[in-house]
């Protein structure tokens, strides 16, 4: 389908058209309340093709489509509307489900969400307010002398721009520390690729605040990196790997006290971010003492159109061929039941195990999205941090 999606909106809310859920299926409905529609289609990420299936006309102005229950506990979706008079090659409109108030965030816009009866969010999502909720990004920044400015205690979220000359730029990021900490406290470090997005769409700083406050993990810091050129830097780039290992992390250690031993540094990344962390470890063993990789883009085995994707394929082929020198460290992997890349993640997991990595793979009943990654953090991420930092 080559039509361009022109807009995304919430539409008119009609509770009488909300999704109908049974143990066997979910029926989506859209009320054509004078919209003069020619076609309605479901846009989702749990079954192929992603655009479809199409709705059919039902009585009383309803459009409906019935989908057999996929092997997920929640499902994000939107509706694609084609109005009468628009050609097959014309534009389409993407809208949220007007009858469903439940919304999920995302870098490419919000999605409507169906949560099946089996779904429950992590405990910390519905816990009471955390101290970090009172210190949003931007509340602190670098002072002129390079010290952290803020409440004077070193805790909270602070904006940083760390030098990355190999990349020809500065690396924007946030530094999270427990509210009771001081900049001079030597603490372990969690390095998070796509970190600003994890903060915005998945609430990572709030979870860390609650985990430390509850004693589930030791006091720590988290460096949340925001990619400048994501498809370039996170695609098995030797320049990014060198910059992170030799420029960005050393620059951070001059601003906030960190534990120096490798096992006190853990990397967290999803999709291309997960692939990039595995590549950093392969290029610079000893930077990390553990990795938490989610839905990693371990693409391989076919001709790929862009130079960056071909570089990914070459790196993953080397991993699978066991042609890279193994440097075992704990690796925890997660991937969704309906993700196309699940098979590749399983293959990498098997190779890591054969090479002596203490690896885990957790398959979660969701797809490739921020809430799926959020929901897969507990209990496995705290367990990894405790194992390395106890």
Q: Which domains does the chain have, with CATH numbers?
A: 5-115 (2.60.40.10), 123-389 (3.40.50.1820)
pLDDT at 377 over 90: yes
In this structure, what token pair is assigned to residue 216?
């589930």
pTM of full prediction above 0.85: yes
Reported as a single tens digit per residue, the pLDDT across 196-226 is 999 999 999 999 999 999 999 999 999 999 9
DSSP string spanning 34-79?
Answer: S--EEEEEEEESSSSSSEEEEPEE-STTEEEEEEEPPS-SEEEEEE
Q: Which range among 13-22, 27-36, 285-294 has the greatest average pLDDT?
A: 285-294
pLDDT at 4 over 80: no
Asked whether the beta carbons of 28 and 55 are under 8 A apart, the reply is yes
In this structure, what token pair is assigned to residue 273?
């971010």
Eight-state DSSP code of residue 258: B
Any residues with CB less than 8 A from the CB of 108 and at least 6 apart, and which? none
Task: Name the pLDDT band for 127 (thresholds 50, 70, 90).
Answer: confident
The pLDDT value recorded for residue 177 is: 94
pLDDT at 59 over 90: no
> Using CA atoms, how far apart are residues 191 and 59, in angstroms rounded to an integer?
54
Asked whether the beta carbons of 376 and 332 are under 8 A apart, the reply is no
Residue appearing with tokens 């290029």: 283
pLDDT at 125 over 50: yes
The pLDDT value recorded for residue 144 is: 31
In this structure, what token pair is assigned to residue 215?
């004693």
Residue scoring higher pLDDT (111 or 88): 111
Q: What is the mean pLDDT of the chain?
A: 87
Reported as a single tens digit per residue, the pLDDT across 335-357 is 999 999 999 999 999 999 999 99
Residue 78 sits at φ, ψ, to 5 deg, of -145, 170
Query: How big is the CA angle at 37 (ends 13 and 90), to the nearest 5 degrees?
Result: 115
Q: Give bridge partners of residue 113 from the DSSP assignment.
A: 76
The pLDDT value recorded for residue 87 is: 56
Residue scoring higher pLDDT (61 or 265): 265
165 three-state secondary structure: helix
The answer to which of 34-38, 257-261, 305-309 has the lowest mean pLDDT is 305-309
In sequence order, which ranges of the chain are alpha helices (DSSP H)? 195-202, 204-214, 230-233, 238-243, 249-253, 272-283, 307-320, 342-354, 370-375, 380-389
246 three-state secondary structure: helix
Residue 50 sits at φ, ψ, to 5 deg, of -70, -30
> Using CA atoms, how far apart are residues 378 and 362, in angstroms rounded to an integer?
11
Q: How many residues does the chain have?
A: 390
> Using CA atoms, how far apart are residues 300 and 340, in angstroms rounded to an integer?
12
């Amino acid at each position: 389908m080559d039509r361009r999606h022109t807009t995304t909106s919430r539409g008119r809310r009609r509770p009488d058209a909300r999704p109908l859920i049974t143990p066997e299926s979910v029926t989506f409905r859209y009320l054509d309340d004078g919209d003069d529609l020619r076609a309605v289609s479901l846009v989702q990420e749990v079954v192929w093709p992603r655009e479809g299936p199409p709705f059919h006309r039902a009585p009383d102005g309803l459009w409906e489509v019935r989908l057999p229950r996929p092997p997920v506990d929640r499902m994000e979706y939107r509706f694609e509307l084609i109005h009468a008079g628009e050609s097959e090659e014309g534009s389409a409109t993407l809208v949220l489900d007007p009858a469903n108030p439940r919304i999920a965030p995302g870098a490419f816009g919000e999605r409507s969400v169906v949560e099946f009866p089996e779904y429950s969010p992590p405990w910390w999502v519905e816990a009471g307010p955390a101290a970090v909720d009172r210190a949003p990004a931007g509340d602190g920044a670098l002072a002129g002398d390079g010290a952290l400015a803020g409440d004077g205690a070193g805790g909270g979220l602070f904006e940083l721009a760390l030098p990355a000359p190999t990349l020809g730029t500065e690396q924007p990021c946030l530094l999270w520390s427990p509210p009771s900490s001081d900049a001079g406290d030597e603490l372990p470090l969690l390095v998070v690729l796509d970190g600003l997005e994890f903060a915005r769409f998945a609430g990572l700083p709030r979870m860390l605040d609650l985990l430390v406050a509850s004693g589930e993990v030791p006091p720590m810091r988290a460096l949340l990196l925001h990619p400048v050129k994501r498809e370039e830097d996170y695609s098995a780039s030797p320049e990014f790997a060198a910059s992170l290992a030799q420029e960005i992390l050393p620059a951070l250690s001059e601003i906030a006290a960190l534990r120096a031993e490798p096992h006190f540094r853990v990397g967290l990344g999803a999709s291309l971010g997960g692939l990039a962390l595995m590549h950093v470890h392969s290029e610079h063993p000893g930077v990390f003492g553990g990795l938490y990789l989610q839905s990693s883009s371990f693409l391989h085995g076919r001709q790929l159109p862009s130079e960056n994707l071909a570089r990914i394929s070459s790196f993953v082929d080397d991993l699978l061929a066991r042609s890279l020198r193994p440097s075992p460290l704990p690796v925890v992997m997660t991937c969704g039941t309906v993700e196309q890349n699940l098979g590749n993640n399983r293959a990498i997991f098997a190779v890591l195990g054969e090479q002596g990595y203490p690896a885990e793979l957790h398959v979660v009943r969701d797809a490739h999205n921020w809430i799926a990654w959020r929901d897969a953090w507990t209990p496995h991420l705290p367990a990894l941090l405790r194992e390395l930092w106890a």
